């Protein structure tokens, strides 16, 4: 038997916190077992766009930056936000240029993911960028980035060795590895 109807009932919904990037809703609910409950939902004001750039020599480009919530440095593929209602591909192209200076002649969409669907409605859109041309990167004022060019197979190994732990990057790199049979 397939369940597709929503078994939850929302009684009240209030915004507990909101800033330029997200809002947190507190909801009083009736659970699927017909008991009272509460739910907190994090809603992002952007969709995530994720890019695995691959050059003609089989290298990809990683972006390193300190991630404030984790209090640690993180290596990731280029990624960023696409305001809701905007074109995902155009946002992916912008993020790749901003973070790495790269522009791509060929773009391939490879997936859509939900990052943590028990607590957030965030979704990410994954792309491969190929036929790369190097230009100047233009990081945002909140970004202090390092760029590293590594073999795509080495980036996949970094995922397997837990050196890349960002969920969007892990999903994108493993999907690319499967598609490219690495």
SS3 103: strand
pLDDT tens-digit map of 87-126: 999 999 999 999 999 999 999 999 999 999 999 999 999 9
CATH code of the domain occupying 46-179: 3.90.79.10
Kindly report the pTM of this predicted structure: 0.90
Domain boundaries, the chain: 9-44, 46-179
- Determine the Cα–Cα distance for residues 164 and 160; give it in Å rounded to an integer: 8
pLDDT tens-digit map of 36-81: 999 999 999 999 999 999 999 999 999 999 999 899 999 999 999 9
- Determine the Cα–Cα distance for residues 121 and 151; give it in Å rounded to an integer: 33
Q: DSSP secondary-structure letter at 120?
A: B
End-to-end CA distance of the chain: 37
Residue ranges in the chain assigned as alpha helix (H): 88-100, 152-160, 167-179
Summary mean pLDDT of the chain = 94
What pLDDT shows up at residue 141? Answer: 72
């Amino acid at each position: 038997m397939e369940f597709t109807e929503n078994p939850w009932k929302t009684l009240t919904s209030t915004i507990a916190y909101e800033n330029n990037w997200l809002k947190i809703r507190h909801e009083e609910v009736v659970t699927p077992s017909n008991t009272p409950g509460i739910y907190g939902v994090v809603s992002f004001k952007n969709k995530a766009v994720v890019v695995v750039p691959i050059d003609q020599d089989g290298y990809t480009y990683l972006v390193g930056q300190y991630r404030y919530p984790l209090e640690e440095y993180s290596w990731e593929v280029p990624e960023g936000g696409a305001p809701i209602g905007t074109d995902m591909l155009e946002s992916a192209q912008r993020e790749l240029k901003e973070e790495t200076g790269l522009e791509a002649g060929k773009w391939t969409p490879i997936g859509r993911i939900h990052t943590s669907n028990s607590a957030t409605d965030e979704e990410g859109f994954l792309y491969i960028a190929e036929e790369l041309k190097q230009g100047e990167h233009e990081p945002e004022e909140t970004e202090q980035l390092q760029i590293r060019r590594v073999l795509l197979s080495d980036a996949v190994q970094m995922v397997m060795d837990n050196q890349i732990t960002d969920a969007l990057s892990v999903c994108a790199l493993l999907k690319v590895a499967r598609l490219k049979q690495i």
